[in-house]
Structure 1
Amino acid sequence: MLFYIISLIVIAIDQLSKLWVRSSMVVGGSRPFLDPYVHFEYYQNTGAAFSSFQGYGKLFVVFAVFVTAVIIYYRTKGVLKGTWMELATGFLVGGAIGNAIDRVLFGKVTDFIVLGRMTGIMNIADIAINIGIVAIILSVIFRREPKQSYS
């Protein structure tokens, strides 16, 4: 259940934040927020991270659907279990679906978060995807295997 709750929360926050940006900022516009650590800059990305693969955004919709289907399949098989894996996959799927919604509805993703002096612009879905990937890696690294008895 945690997987679905996290996914839905991420999608909702992502879509509401993008709606706010699209309705209150102009493309290329900037707004201070917690300067110098974070500021908002409205950008529309038709590609992937760091503006790579411009114009191929529709392919990422297919990829997002594939990743979501694979995660749900392995969850139902009991392979992806435990609280950390529920959280991790919830963030990953929520972020993937959040960006896929933008690509389907608008043909591009609304990016607006700039951290510190970074040159990349991201959104809540991107942050969720990164949290999900890091959490999956940590979950795999620190997974506790059941002790086997050798009797």
Structure 2
Amino acid sequence: MLFYIIAILVLMIDQLSKYLIRIYIDINETFTLWGMQLTHIENSGMAGGLFPGNARLFGVAAVLFVIGVLYIRRNGDMKGALIDSSFGFLVGGAIGNGIDRLMFGQVTDFIPRSGGILNVADHAIEIGMLLFIIYVVVSWWKDKR
């Protein structure tokens, strides 16, 4: 159940934030919200603007990734709150960006950070990857003992 709760929350927050940005903020406009400077851009590629114009291809990759995670959750040996949380963040982020890529041909980004401008889904994917690495290390450590 934790997997679904996290995935749905990430997806809802991501899509709501992108919707509000698209509706109220012009492209390339910078604004301040709660002391944070945000900039609205549209990215037709992947992270950091790499491979521009391939958003739909990356959208299909997101669908395949989600199918793969669902398959692993159903048939794999990975169990527990840590991996469920990891997969929840990863799937929620993948679906969030996948929706943008497949529906609009680009992803709405607005959170500047060193190395580029990201969105909620991107940050969820980063959290999911960090939790996945922790899960792998902890599993390895348990197996060694």
Shift of 1:80: 2.3
Shift of 1:62: 1.4
Aligned length: 144
Corresponding residue for residue 85 of structure 1: 83
Q: Pick closer, same or farther for the CA change 1:110–1:146 going to 2, 3 Å.
A: same
1:139 correspondence with 2:96? no
Query: Counterparts of 1:48-87 in structure 2 under 5 Å?
Result: 48-87=46-85
Letter in 2 for 1:14: D
Letter in 1 for 2:142: E
SS in 2 for 1:67: helix
Q: After alignment, is 91-100 or 63-72 more displaced?
A: 63-72
Letter in 2 for 1:11: L
SS in 2 for 1:39: strand
5+ residue gaps, structure 2, are none
1:124 correspondence with 2:111? no
Shift of 1:145: 3.1
Q: Structure 1 or 2: larger helix share?
A: 2
Which contiguous aligned blocks of 4+ residues in structure 1 show a shift greater than 6 angstroms?
A: none
Larger Rg: 1
Shift of 1:147: 8.4
Corresponding residue for residue 101 of structure 2: 103
SS in 1 for 2:116: coil
Q: Describe the superposition over 1:5-25 as per-residue Cα deviations: whole angstroms up to 9, x where unpaired.
A: 111110000000001101110
Q: Describe the superposition over 1:77-108 as per-residue Cα deviations: whole angstroms up to 9, x where unpaired.
A: 14221101000000000000000101111110
Aligned-partner Cα distance in 2 for 1:72–1:24: 35
Aligned-partner Cα distance in 2 for 1:135–1:34: 28
TM-score by structure 2 length? Answer: 0.93
TM-score by structure 1 length? Answer: 0.89
5+ residue gaps, structure 1, are none
Alignment identity in percent?
Answer: 42
Corresponding residue for residue 29 of structure 1: 29
SS in 2 for 1:142: helix
